[in-house]
Amino acid sequence: MIKSKTLFKVGSSVAALATAFAFSSLPALADGHRKAAIEVVTHAGAGGGTDVNSRMMMLRSRRVLKQDMVVVNKRGGGGAAAMNYFMTRPADGNTILTFTVGHAITMAMGKTKLKIEDMAPIARGTNDPQILMVNCKTSPYKTPESFLAGMKKGDKISFGGTHTGTIDHITAYMWAKKTGQKMPKYIPFKGGGELATQVVAGSVDVGILNLSEAGAPIEAGDLCPLVILGDNAMGPIPKAKTAKSLGIDLVLSTTRGFVTHAGVDKERVGQMEKGLTKAMKHSMYQAYLANSGLDNTSPQASAAWGKQIKFMVGEFGPALKEMGLLK
């Protein structure tokens, strides 16, 4: 059972602490890379999910690295403004870009000059698998297997997600393609909360949601998660199965992590990776993950994070072209 009310309460406290601590200062060292504060560049406004994630990372990282850290919010263009600003900063190891799945889509669409080779991955911070969910009471699909069989048979199934050209939209297309079908009917909604409500109301057959967005209706028995597009099963939803376990090789997530400039010397990148990795093992960050329905597999070191970035940018471009969203 998902303890949504308790988790949301804990999450509010954690987020409040993140905001408070992130604006406090620590004395910076006076030599080497650490003369200046590290700028942590995000595309989200204050209080947004990516902004909060950045501040949660900063809580202990600035102490581990013994260097001040400040958030720089650059909104606009699906992350393009943040990426373009990042490109103007010197490659001195004092700038971190919070890179998300949205940034990968923006890069794949060619809306920024930033390239994969311009970035040095540091560490992943969160990884929230895409989950295909149905109305428990009215859906004809009661098991992951019956849902997959319906897809392969060509059942007319409508999918709902947040907006068009997003990870949800791409997920609907790639899931259908992997099951041998064309792009299904896709209905965009303004946010995860509205989407979950509309799946329960019967306005759409399948909702593409993250666990953190659907905790309450899952707990109430209104939404049933069927397929997890992640590497592993998820404890709070034991009846759901991974696509891989069903024979479908598809892993897609709403993810956030951290990169710096490719020109930063390897020793400094290694220092940053070690610092952020250690910081994200702290109980405060782990509580933040738990509140979001995630576990300690979310943080990953640079190698795995870099591989995921390349996969996202490499796969999203062709998918968007096939969907008719990119020329």
Which secondary structure element, helix H or strand E, spans residue 68, and what is its range?
Answer: none
The answer to pTM > 0.85 is: yes
Which amino acid would we find at residue 239? K
pLDDT of residue 35: 60
Work out the pLDDT band at 31, boundaries 50, 70, 90: very low
Section 313-321 average pLDDT: 96
- When pLDDT is cut at 50, 70 and 90, the band that residue 151 belongs to is very high
pLDDT in the model for residue 32:
47
Q: What is the pLDDT of residues 209-267, one digit of tens each?
A: 999 889 899 999 999 999 999 999 998 899 999 999 999 999 999 999 999 999 999 99
Closest CA to 116 of 317, 288, 295: 317
CB-based burial label for 278 (10 Å; 0-12, 13-18, 19+) = middle
What mean pLDDT do residues 142-171 have?
97
For each of the domains in the chain, give its residue range(s) and CATH number, in order of start: 4-127+255-322 (3.40.190.150), 128-246 (3.40.190.10)
Between CA 75 and CA 91 the distance in angstroms is: 22
